[in-house]
A and B are shown apart, each in its own frame.
Chain A
Amino acid sequence: MSGAFYIGAVGLDAQQKALDTIANNISNISTSGFKRSEVRFTEMLASQPDAGVVGPDLGANAVTSSGVKADVAQLLNSQGQVQSTGNPLDLAIDGNGFIEVMGPGGQMMLWRGGALKIGDQGQLMTASGFELKANITVPTDATSLQIGSDGVVHATTPTDAAPVELGQIMLVKVDDPSVVQPADQGFYRVQDAVELNDAKPGEDGVGTLAQGSLEGSNVELNQEMVDLLVVQRAYAANAQVVQAADQFMGLANGLRR
Protein backbone atom coordinates (compact mmCIF):
# COMPACT_ATOMS: atom_id res chain seq x y z
CA MET A 1 0.00 0.00 0.00
CA SER A 2 1.36 3.35 -1.00
CA GLY A 3 2.15 5.52 2.02
CA ALA A 4 1.14 8.60 0.08
CA PHE A 5 -2.44 7.34 0.03
CA TYR A 6 -2.57 7.03 3.76
CA ILE A 7 -0.77 10.30 4.46
CA GLY A 8 -3.07 12.14 2.07
CA ALA A 9 -6.11 10.65 3.78
CA VAL A 10 -4.81 11.62 7.21
CA GLY A 11 -4.24 15.15 5.89
CA LEU A 12 -7.81 15.32 4.59
CA ASP A 13 -9.08 14.18 7.95
CA ALA A 14 -7.08 16.83 9.83
CA GLN A 15 -8.29 19.63 7.57
CA GLN A 16 -11.85 18.37 7.95
CA LYS A 17 -11.48 18.68 11.70
CA ALA A 18 -10.16 22.23 11.27
CA LEU A 19 -13.16 23.07 9.08
CA ASP A 20 -15.57 21.74 11.73
CA THR A 21 -13.86 23.84 14.37
CA ILE A 22 -14.04 27.02 12.28
CA ALA A 23 -17.70 26.35 11.52
CA ASN A 24 -18.44 26.00 15.22
CA ASN A 25 -16.54 29.20 16.03
CA ILE A 26 -18.37 31.19 13.40
CA SER A 27 -21.78 29.85 14.34
CA ASN A 28 -21.19 30.94 17.94
CA ILE A 29 -19.90 34.39 17.10
CA SER A 30 -22.74 36.06 18.97
CA THR A 31 -23.04 33.52 21.81
CA SER A 32 -22.23 35.31 25.03
CA GLY A 33 -19.33 33.82 26.96
CA PHE A 34 -18.33 31.56 24.05
CA LYS A 35 -14.64 30.72 23.81
CA ARG A 36 -13.30 29.94 20.39
CA SER A 37 -11.41 26.73 19.72
CA GLU A 38 -8.28 26.44 17.73
CA VAL A 39 -6.88 23.51 15.80
CA ARG A 40 -3.31 22.68 16.61
CA PHE A 41 -1.53 20.69 13.97
CA THR A 42 1.47 18.56 14.79
CA GLU A 43 3.38 16.28 12.53
CA MET A 44 2.69 12.71 13.52
CA LEU A 45 5.52 10.97 15.28
CA ALA A 46 7.22 8.88 12.68
CA SER A 47 8.01 5.25 13.09
CA GLN A 48 11.65 4.60 13.77
CA PRO A 49 13.53 1.36 13.50
CA ASP A 50 14.13 -0.49 16.74
CA ALA A 51 17.72 0.15 17.85
CA GLY A 52 17.99 -3.45 19.07
CA VAL A 53 17.29 -4.90 15.64
CA VAL A 54 20.23 -4.90 13.30
CA GLY A 55 18.99 -4.43 9.78
CA PRO A 56 20.35 -3.11 6.52
CA ASP A 57 21.22 0.58 6.38
CA LEU A 58 18.28 2.07 4.50
CA GLY A 59 19.51 5.65 4.42
CA ALA A 60 16.53 7.92 3.98
CA ASN A 61 14.14 5.05 4.66
CA ALA A 62 15.26 4.95 8.28
CA VAL A 63 12.62 7.50 9.29
CA THR A 64 9.24 7.27 7.68
CA SER A 65 6.83 10.13 7.92
CA SER A 66 3.22 9.44 8.64
CA GLY A 67 1.23 12.60 8.19
CA VAL A 68 -0.36 15.10 10.49
CA LYS A 69 -2.38 15.11 13.67
CA ALA A 70 -4.96 17.75 14.53
CA ASP A 71 -5.88 18.54 18.13
CA VAL A 72 -8.61 20.96 19.07
CA ALA A 73 -7.75 23.30 21.92
CA GLN A 74 -10.13 25.79 23.43
CA LEU A 75 -8.80 29.27 24.16
CA LEU A 76 -10.34 29.53 27.62
CA ASN A 77 -8.15 32.32 28.85
CA SER A 78 -8.80 34.80 26.13
CA GLN A 79 -11.21 37.53 27.17
CA GLY A 80 -14.28 38.45 25.19
CA GLN A 81 -15.60 41.98 25.26
CA VAL A 82 -17.69 42.81 28.34
CA GLN A 83 -20.84 44.56 27.18
CA SER A 84 -23.29 46.32 29.45
CA THR A 85 -26.89 45.07 29.21
CA GLY A 86 -28.47 46.97 32.08
CA ASN A 87 -30.12 43.79 33.37
CA PRO A 88 -29.11 43.32 37.05
CA LEU A 89 -29.31 39.54 36.64
CA ASP A 90 -26.64 39.42 33.93
CA LEU A 91 -23.18 38.64 35.20
CA ALA A 92 -19.87 38.71 33.34
CA ILE A 93 -16.31 37.92 34.41
CA ASP A 94 -13.60 40.35 33.44
CA GLY A 95 -10.52 38.14 33.75
CA ASN A 96 -9.60 34.48 33.57
CA GLY A 97 -11.76 33.04 36.37
CA PHE A 98 -14.83 30.81 36.32
CA ILE A 99 -17.88 30.65 38.57
CA GLU A 100 -18.56 27.25 40.10
CA VAL A 101 -22.09 25.92 39.73
CA MET A 102 -23.75 22.68 40.81
CA GLY A 103 -24.57 20.56 37.78
CA PRO A 104 -27.69 18.40 37.43
CA GLY A 105 -26.13 15.48 39.34
CA GLY A 106 -24.63 17.75 42.00
CA GLN A 107 -21.23 17.66 40.33
CA MET A 108 -19.18 20.80 39.99
CA MET A 109 -19.31 22.62 36.70
CA LEU A 110 -17.67 25.84 35.61
CA TRP A 111 -19.44 28.81 34.09
CA ARG A 112 -18.14 31.96 32.41
CA GLY A 113 -21.12 33.99 33.51
CA GLY A 114 -24.33 34.86 31.73
CA ALA A 115 -27.94 35.27 32.79
CA LEU A 116 -28.93 34.49 36.38
CA LYS A 117 -32.34 33.84 37.86
CA ILE A 118 -33.80 33.50 41.31
CA GLY A 119 -35.32 30.12 42.07
CA ASP A 120 -38.55 29.24 43.87
CA GLN A 121 -36.87 29.19 47.27
CA GLY A 122 -34.92 32.33 46.50
CA GLN A 123 -31.71 30.54 45.61
CA LEU A 124 -29.49 32.29 43.08
CA MET A 125 -29.02 30.08 39.99
CA THR A 126 -28.10 30.26 36.34
CA ALA A 127 -30.89 30.83 33.84
CA SER A 128 -30.70 27.13 32.96
CA GLY A 129 -31.39 26.17 36.57
CA PHE A 130 -27.99 25.25 38.02
CA GLU A 131 -27.44 26.60 41.52
CA LEU A 132 -24.31 28.60 42.24
CA LYS A 133 -21.90 26.84 44.54
CA ALA A 134 -21.77 30.04 46.62
CA ASN A 135 -25.24 28.99 47.84
CA ILE A 136 -26.86 32.39 48.02
CA THR A 137 -30.50 32.70 48.99
CA VAL A 138 -32.23 35.93 48.10
CA PRO A 139 -35.00 37.05 50.51
CA THR A 140 -38.41 36.86 48.88
CA ASP A 141 -39.17 40.49 49.58
CA ALA A 142 -35.92 41.81 48.10
CA THR A 143 -36.40 44.77 45.81
CA SER A 144 -32.96 44.82 44.29
CA LEU A 145 -29.78 42.75 44.16
CA GLN A 146 -26.24 44.10 43.97
CA ILE A 147 -23.26 41.99 43.02
CA GLY A 148 -20.00 43.82 43.67
CA SER A 149 -16.93 43.45 41.51
CA ASP A 150 -15.44 41.46 44.45
CA GLY A 151 -18.36 38.99 44.25
CA VAL A 152 -20.11 40.08 47.44
CA VAL A 153 -23.88 39.91 46.96
CA HIS A 154 -26.18 42.40 48.73
CA ALA A 155 -29.96 42.60 48.66
CA THR A 156 -32.11 45.60 49.47
CA THR A 157 -35.30 44.79 51.31
CA PRO A 158 -38.09 47.12 52.47
CA THR A 159 -37.64 45.98 56.11
CA ASP A 160 -33.92 46.74 56.46
CA ALA A 161 -32.45 50.19 56.18
CA ALA A 162 -29.09 49.05 54.81
CA PRO A 163 -28.56 46.36 52.12
CA VAL A 164 -28.11 42.89 53.63
CA GLU A 165 -25.02 40.87 52.73
CA LEU A 166 -26.02 37.46 51.37
CA GLY A 167 -22.68 35.88 50.53
CA GLN A 168 -19.79 36.03 48.16
CA ILE A 169 -19.37 34.48 44.70
CA MET A 170 -15.90 32.99 44.41
CA LEU A 171 -13.96 32.38 41.21
CA VAL A 172 -11.66 29.52 40.22
CA LYS A 173 -8.85 29.62 37.74
CA VAL A 174 -8.00 26.94 35.18
CA ASP A 175 -4.35 26.89 34.17
CA ASP A 176 -4.41 23.80 32.00
CA PRO A 177 -7.43 24.12 29.69
CA SER A 178 -7.24 20.42 28.83
CA VAL A 179 -8.71 19.46 32.24
CA VAL A 180 -12.08 20.96 31.36
CA GLN A 181 -14.44 19.89 28.62
CA PRO A 182 -17.05 22.21 27.21
CA ALA A 183 -20.61 21.13 27.91
CA ASP A 184 -23.85 22.65 26.65
CA GLN A 185 -24.86 26.26 27.18
CA GLY A 186 -21.51 27.69 28.14
CA PHE A 187 -20.77 25.28 30.98
CA TYR A 188 -17.59 23.29 31.42
CA ARG A 189 -17.17 19.88 32.97
CA VAL A 190 -14.12 19.32 35.14
CA GLN A 191 -12.24 16.04 35.29
CA ASP A 192 -12.83 14.36 38.64
CA ALA A 193 -9.25 14.20 39.80
CA VAL A 194 -8.55 17.88 39.29
CA GLU A 195 -8.58 20.21 42.27
CA LEU A 196 -9.25 23.83 41.52
CA ASN A 197 -8.64 26.48 44.14
CA ASP A 198 -11.15 29.17 44.98
CA ALA A 199 -10.04 32.77 44.97
CA LYS A 200 -11.86 35.95 45.81
CA PRO A 201 -12.61 37.99 42.68
CA GLY A 202 -9.79 40.46 42.17
CA GLU A 203 -7.13 38.18 43.66
CA ASP A 204 -4.69 35.74 42.03
CA GLY A 205 -5.50 36.98 38.54
CA VAL A 206 -8.98 35.45 38.48
CA GLY A 207 -10.52 38.73 37.43
CA THR A 208 -13.49 40.67 38.72
CA LEU A 209 -17.24 40.35 38.33
CA ALA A 210 -19.32 42.78 36.34
CA GLN A 211 -23.02 42.89 37.17
CA GLY A 212 -25.40 44.04 34.43
CA SER A 213 -23.00 42.94 31.71
CA LEU A 214 -22.46 39.98 29.43
CA GLU A 215 -19.21 38.78 27.93
CA GLY A 216 -19.22 38.60 24.15
CA SER A 217 -17.61 35.67 22.35
CA ASN A 218 -13.89 35.92 21.62
CA VAL A 219 -14.35 34.92 17.97
CA GLU A 220 -12.86 37.29 15.42
CA LEU A 221 -14.54 36.91 12.08
CA ASN A 222 -11.57 38.14 10.04
CA GLN A 223 -9.32 35.50 11.49
CA GLU A 224 -11.89 32.74 11.02
CA MET A 225 -12.39 33.73 7.38
CA VAL A 226 -8.67 33.68 6.64
CA ASP A 227 -8.35 30.32 8.39
CA LEU A 228 -11.29 29.04 6.36
CA LEU A 229 -9.57 29.89 3.08
CA VAL A 230 -6.33 28.24 4.20
CA VAL A 231 -8.17 25.09 5.27
CA GLN A 232 -10.03 24.94 1.98
CA ARG A 233 -6.81 25.08 -0.04
CA ALA A 234 -4.98 22.66 2.22
CA TYR A 235 -7.88 20.22 1.90
CA ALA A 236 -7.76 20.46 -1.88
CA ALA A 237 -3.98 19.91 -1.86
CA ASN A 238 -4.38 16.75 0.19
CA ALA A 239 -7.09 15.57 -2.18
CA GLN A 240 -4.61 16.05 -5.04
CA VAL A 241 -2.13 13.85 -3.20
CA VAL A 242 -4.70 11.09 -2.80
CA GLN A 243 -5.51 11.33 -6.49
CA ALA A 244 -1.85 11.15 -7.47
CA ALA A 245 -1.35 8.13 -5.21
CA ASP A 246 -4.32 6.54 -6.94
CA GLN A 247 -2.75 7.19 -10.34
CA PHE A 248 0.46 5.65 -9.09
CA MET A 249 -1.29 2.49 -8.00
CA GLY A 250 -3.12 2.35 -11.31
CA LEU A 251 0.24 2.49 -13.00
CA ALA A 252 1.56 -0.38 -10.88
CA ASN A 253 -1.54 -2.41 -11.69
CA GLY A 254 -1.02 -1.74 -15.39
CA LEU A 255 2.53 -3.13 -15.35
CA ARG A 256 1.29 -6.60 -16.21
CA ARG A 257 -0.78 -6.45 -19.38
Chain B
Amino acid sequence: MADFIESARAILSQSERRMEATANNVANITTPGFKNERLYSEMSAGTDALAPETLLKQTVDFTQGQLSKTSNPLDLAIAGPGMFRLAGADGSTVYTRSGQFKLVDGGRVVNAQGLALQSADGGDLIVANQNIQILADGTVLDGDRPIAKVGVYQAAAGAQMQPLGGSLFSAAEGAVDEVAQPSVRQGMLEASNVALANEMVNMMDALRQAEGAAKLVQTYDDLMGKAVSTFGQGTR
Protein backbone atom coordinates (compact mmCIF):
# COMPACT_ATOMS: atom_id res chain seq x y z
CA MET B 1 0.00 0.00 0.00
CA ALA B 2 2.88 2.37 0.66
CA ASP B 3 3.93 2.02 -2.98
CA PHE B 4 0.53 3.25 -3.97
CA ILE B 5 0.85 6.57 -2.17
CA GLU B 6 4.48 6.84 -3.36
CA SER B 7 3.29 6.55 -6.97
CA ALA B 8 0.66 9.22 -6.45
CA ARG B 9 3.27 11.51 -4.93
CA ALA B 10 5.62 10.88 -7.86
CA ILE B 11 2.87 11.67 -10.38
CA LEU B 12 2.16 14.92 -8.56
CA SER B 13 5.76 16.03 -8.56
CA GLN B 14 6.14 14.98 -12.18
CA SER B 15 3.19 17.08 -13.25
CA GLU B 16 4.63 19.98 -11.30
CA ARG B 17 7.87 19.65 -13.25
CA ARG B 18 5.95 19.53 -16.52
CA MET B 19 4.09 22.66 -15.52
CA GLU B 20 7.39 24.42 -14.79
CA ALA B 21 8.74 23.46 -18.21
CA THR B 22 5.58 24.81 -19.84
CA ALA B 23 5.82 27.98 -17.78
CA ASN B 24 9.38 28.52 -18.96
CA ASN B 25 8.42 27.96 -22.60
CA VAL B 26 5.55 30.41 -22.32
CA ALA B 27 7.72 32.98 -20.56
CA ASN B 28 10.18 32.76 -23.45
CA ILE B 29 7.64 32.95 -26.24
CA THR B 30 9.14 36.27 -27.33
CA THR B 31 12.81 35.37 -26.70
CA PRO B 32 14.77 35.26 -29.98
CA GLY B 33 16.55 32.00 -30.70
CA PHE B 34 14.75 30.20 -27.87
CA LYS B 35 14.22 26.51 -28.44
CA ASN B 36 11.17 24.84 -27.00
CA GLU B 37 12.06 22.48 -24.14
CA ARG B 38 9.98 19.36 -23.77
CA LEU B 39 9.74 16.83 -21.00
CA TYR B 40 8.74 13.28 -21.60
CA SER B 41 8.57 10.35 -19.26
CA GLU B 42 9.77 6.82 -19.78
CA MET B 43 8.11 3.73 -18.45
CA SER B 44 9.40 2.84 -15.02
CA ALA B 45 11.06 -0.54 -14.59
CA GLY B 46 8.34 -1.26 -12.08
CA THR B 47 10.14 -2.09 -8.87
CA ASP B 48 11.56 1.29 -8.02
CA ALA B 49 8.83 3.37 -6.44
CA LEU B 50 10.88 6.56 -6.68
CA ALA B 51 11.51 6.11 -10.38
CA PRO B 52 8.64 8.02 -12.01
CA GLU B 53 9.93 11.50 -11.32
CA THR B 54 13.55 10.75 -12.08
CA LEU B 55 12.55 9.24 -15.39
CA LEU B 56 11.45 12.59 -16.77
CA LYS B 57 13.73 13.36 -19.70
CA GLN B 58 14.31 16.72 -21.26
CA THR B 59 14.63 17.21 -25.00
CA VAL B 60 14.95 20.33 -27.05
CA ASP B 61 12.93 20.92 -30.16
CA PHE B 62 15.38 22.36 -32.71
CA THR B 63 12.74 23.35 -35.26
CA GLN B 64 13.65 26.53 -37.09
CA GLY B 65 11.91 29.66 -35.79
CA GLN B 66 10.62 32.39 -38.06
CA LEU B 67 13.28 34.90 -39.16
CA SER B 68 12.29 38.52 -38.87
CA LYS B 69 14.05 41.71 -39.83
CA THR B 70 15.34 44.12 -37.19
CA SER B 71 17.12 47.43 -37.51
CA ASN B 72 20.24 46.39 -35.60
CA PRO B 73 23.26 45.40 -37.73
CA LEU B 74 24.54 43.15 -34.94
CA ASP B 75 21.43 41.02 -34.81
CA LEU B 76 22.34 37.73 -36.43
CA ALA B 77 20.20 34.75 -37.30
CA ILE B 78 21.06 31.39 -38.78
CA ALA B 79 18.79 29.94 -41.44
CA GLY B 80 19.13 26.18 -41.39
CA PRO B 81 21.45 24.17 -39.17
CA GLY B 82 24.21 25.51 -36.95
CA MET B 83 24.89 27.57 -33.85
CA PHE B 84 27.11 30.46 -32.86
CA ARG B 85 30.02 29.67 -30.59
CA LEU B 86 30.40 31.79 -27.47
CA ALA B 87 33.08 31.92 -24.80
CA GLY B 88 31.40 30.89 -21.55
CA ALA B 89 32.00 32.69 -18.28
CA ASP B 90 34.35 30.06 -16.88
CA GLY B 91 36.48 29.57 -19.99
CA SER B 92 34.18 26.93 -21.39
CA THR B 93 32.66 27.00 -24.84
CA VAL B 94 28.92 27.25 -25.29
CA TYR B 95 26.67 27.40 -28.33
CA THR B 96 23.52 29.36 -29.07
CA ARG B 97 21.13 30.27 -31.85
CA SER B 98 20.14 33.48 -30.15
CA GLY B 99 21.91 36.23 -32.11
CA GLN B 100 21.25 39.49 -30.27
CA PHE B 101 24.74 40.88 -30.07
CA LYS B 102 26.19 44.26 -29.25
CA LEU B 103 29.56 45.88 -29.49
CA VAL B 104 31.52 46.59 -26.34
CA ASP B 105 34.84 48.29 -25.65
CA GLY B 106 37.72 46.76 -27.52
CA GLY B 107 35.53 45.69 -30.44
CA ARG B 108 34.29 42.48 -28.86
CA VAL B 109 30.83 41.33 -29.89
CA VAL B 110 28.88 40.04 -26.90
CA ASN B 111 25.37 38.78 -26.24
CA ALA B 112 23.00 40.03 -23.54
CA GLN B 113 24.73 37.86 -20.94
CA GLY B 114 28.13 39.30 -21.86
CA LEU B 115 29.46 36.16 -23.55
CA ALA B 116 31.75 36.94 -26.48
CA LEU B 117 31.03 35.67 -29.99
CA GLN B 118 33.85 33.51 -31.31
CA SER B 119 35.35 33.71 -34.77
CA ALA B 120 35.87 30.66 -36.96
CA ASP B 121 39.67 30.70 -36.37
CA GLY B 122 39.14 30.64 -32.61
CA GLY B 123 39.34 33.58 -30.24
CA ASP B 124 36.93 36.45 -29.76
CA LEU B 125 35.54 38.11 -32.85
CA ILE B 126 36.92 41.66 -32.94
CA VAL B 127 35.32 44.28 -35.15
CA ALA B 128 36.24 47.94 -35.46
CA ASN B 129 32.77 49.45 -35.59
CA GLN B 130 29.09 48.74 -36.02
CA ASN B 131 29.11 49.42 -39.75
CA ILE B 132 30.39 46.00 -40.63
CA GLN B 133 28.78 43.74 -43.15
CA ILE B 134 28.35 40.05 -42.47
CA LEU B 135 27.90 37.76 -45.44
CA ALA B 136 25.82 34.61 -45.48
CA ASP B 137 28.85 32.36 -44.99
CA GLY B 138 29.79 34.33 -41.86
CA THR B 139 32.56 36.44 -43.41
CA VAL B 140 32.80 39.83 -41.74
CA LEU B 141 33.54 42.72 -44.11
CA ASP B 142 34.81 46.11 -42.98
CA GLY B 143 34.29 48.12 -46.12
CA ASP B 144 35.41 45.67 -48.81
CA ARG B 145 38.04 44.01 -46.66
CA PRO B 146 37.26 40.67 -45.02
CA ILE B 147 38.49 40.92 -41.40
CA ALA B 148 37.14 37.76 -39.77
CA LYS B 149 34.60 35.02 -40.03
CA VAL B 150 31.78 34.17 -37.64
CA GLY B 151 31.98 30.49 -36.78
CA VAL B 152 28.85 28.37 -37.23
CA TYR B 153 28.92 24.89 -35.74
CA GLN B 154 26.68 21.89 -35.42
CA ALA B 155 26.84 18.64 -33.48
CA ALA B 156 28.91 15.99 -35.23
CA ALA B 157 27.14 12.89 -36.50
CA GLY B 158 26.01 10.78 -33.56
CA ALA B 159 26.67 13.52 -31.00
CA GLN B 160 24.13 15.83 -29.41
CA MET B 161 24.06 19.33 -28.03
CA GLN B 162 23.27 19.39 -24.32
CA PRO B 163 20.90 22.15 -23.18
CA LEU B 164 22.34 24.39 -20.45
CA GLY B 165 19.33 26.64 -20.07
CA GLY B 166 19.48 30.27 -21.09
CA SER B 167 19.16 29.20 -24.75
CA LEU B 168 22.70 27.96 -24.40
CA PHE B 169 23.98 24.53 -25.33
CA SER B 170 27.17 22.66 -24.68
CA ALA B 171 28.87 19.91 -26.60
CA ALA B 172 31.64 17.52 -25.75
CA GLU B 173 35.14 18.33 -26.99
CA GLY B 174 35.46 17.30 -30.63
CA ALA B 175 31.77 16.56 -30.95
CA VAL B 176 31.11 19.61 -33.10
CA ASP B 177 31.78 20.26 -36.77
CA GLU B 178 31.86 23.55 -38.58
CA VAL B 179 28.82 23.87 -40.82
CA ALA B 180 30.09 23.65 -44.40
CA GLN B 181 27.71 26.16 -45.94
CA PRO B 182 26.13 28.20 -43.17
CA SER B 183 23.51 30.81 -43.88
CA VAL B 184 24.02 33.73 -41.52
CA ARG B 185 21.53 36.57 -41.88
CA GLN B 186 22.63 39.97 -40.68
CA GLY B 187 19.99 42.33 -39.26
CA MET B 188 17.60 39.49 -38.61
CA LEU B 189 16.55 37.48 -35.58
CA GLU B 190 15.12 34.02 -35.27
CA ALA B 191 11.88 34.02 -33.30
CA SER B 192 11.28 31.54 -30.51
CA ASN B 193 9.77 28.28 -31.77
CA VAL B 194 7.32 27.93 -28.88
CA ALA B 195 3.79 27.19 -30.11
CA LEU B 196 1.33 28.67 -27.65
CA ALA B 197 -1.46 26.19 -28.37
CA ASN B 198 0.83 23.24 -27.61
CA GLU B 199 1.91 24.81 -24.36
CA MET B 200 -1.66 25.43 -23.24
CA VAL B 201 -2.58 21.82 -24.02
CA ASN B 202 0.48 20.60 -22.11
CA MET B 203 -0.48 22.74 -19.17
CA MET B 204 -4.04 21.40 -19.11
CA ASP B 205 -2.65 17.90 -19.41
CA ALA B 206 -0.30 18.42 -16.46
CA LEU B 207 -3.13 19.86 -14.37
CA ARG B 208 -5.44 16.93 -15.11
CA GLN B 209 -2.63 14.51 -14.35
CA ALA B 210 -2.20 16.22 -10.99
CA GLU B 211 -5.96 16.00 -10.38
CA GLY B 212 -5.83 12.30 -11.08
CA ALA B 213 -2.98 11.88 -8.61
CA ALA B 214 -4.91 13.87 -6.02
CA LYS B 215 -7.84 11.50 -6.50
CA LEU B 216 -5.50 8.56 -5.92
CA VAL B 217 -4.28 10.07 -2.67
CA GLN B 218 -7.84 10.64 -1.51
CA THR B 219 -8.87 7.10 -2.41
CA TYR B 220 -5.88 5.78 -0.51
CA ASP B 221 -6.82 7.93 2.44
CA ASP B 222 -10.42 6.63 2.33
CA LEU B 223 -9.24 3.04 2.19
CA MET B 224 -6.85 3.51 5.09
CA GLY B 225 -9.54 5.24 7.10
CA LYS B 226 -11.93 2.39 6.41
CA ALA B 227 -9.31 -0.20 7.32
CA VAL B 228 -8.56 1.52 10.60
CA SER B 229 -12.21 1.83 11.63
CA THR B 230 -13.21 -1.67 10.48
CA PHE B 231 -10.33 -3.51 12.09
CA GLY B 232 -10.45 -1.19 15.07
CA GLN B 233 -14.02 -2.31 15.81
CA GLY B 234 -13.06 -5.98 15.57
CA THR B 235 -10.71 -5.86 18.54
CA ARG B 236 -13.20 -4.31 20.90
Q: A residues bordering B, Cβ < 8 Å?
A: 2-4, 7-8, 10-11, 14-15, 18, 38, 40-46, 48, 57-61, 63-69, 71, 73, 75, 77-78, 96, 173, 175-178, 205, 218, 230-231, 233-234, 237-238, 240-241, 244-245, 247-248, 251-252, 254-255, 257
Contact B29 A241 (CB under 8 A): no
Interface assignment of B31: CB less than 8 Å from any CB of chain A = yes
Q: Is the interface of A mostly helix, strand, loop or mixed?
A: mixed
Which of chain A's residues have a CB closer than 8 A to the CB of B167? 42-43
Contact A43 B166 (CB under 8 A): yes
Binds A, one of B15-23, B133-141, B149-157, B176-184: B15-23
Contact A63 B163 (CB under 8 A): yes
Interface assignment of B27: CB less than 8 Å from any CB of chain A = yes
Contact A68 B103 (CB under 8 A): no
In the complex, what distance in Å separates the CA atom of A71 from the CA atom of B114? 13
Count class of interface residues, chain B: 35 or more
Contact B102 A248 (CB under 8 A): no
> Closest residue of chain A to B42, judged by CB?
A59
Question: Are A2 and B28 also in contact (CB < 8 A) when A42-B166, A48-B164, A251-B214 are?
Answer: no
Contact A46 B58 (CB under 8 A): no
0 or 1 for each of B4-27: is its CB under 8 Å from A? (1 = yes): 000000001001110111111011
Interface assignment of B120: CB less than 8 Å from any CB of chain A = no
> Closest residue of chain B to A12, judged by CB?
B27
Given contacts A42-B112, A245-B19, 18 further A-B contacts (CB under 8 A): A7-B27, A18-B30, A38-B72, A40-B100, A44-B165, A59-B57, A60-B56, A61-B54, A65-B20, A65-B165, A175-B129, A176-B102, A177-B102, A205-B129, A237-B200, A255-B214, A255-B217, A255-B218
Which of chain B's residues have a CB closer than 8 A to the CB of A61? 17, 53-54, 56
Nearest Cβ on chain A to B118's Cβ, whole angstroms: 18
0 or 1 for each of B202-236: is its CB under 8 Å from A? (1 = yes): 01101100110010011001000000000000000
Nearest Cβ on chain A to B220's Cβ, whole angstroms: 10
Interface assignment of B44: CB less than 8 Å from any CB of chain A = no
In the complex, what distance in Å separates the CA atom of A65 from the CA atom of B13? 16
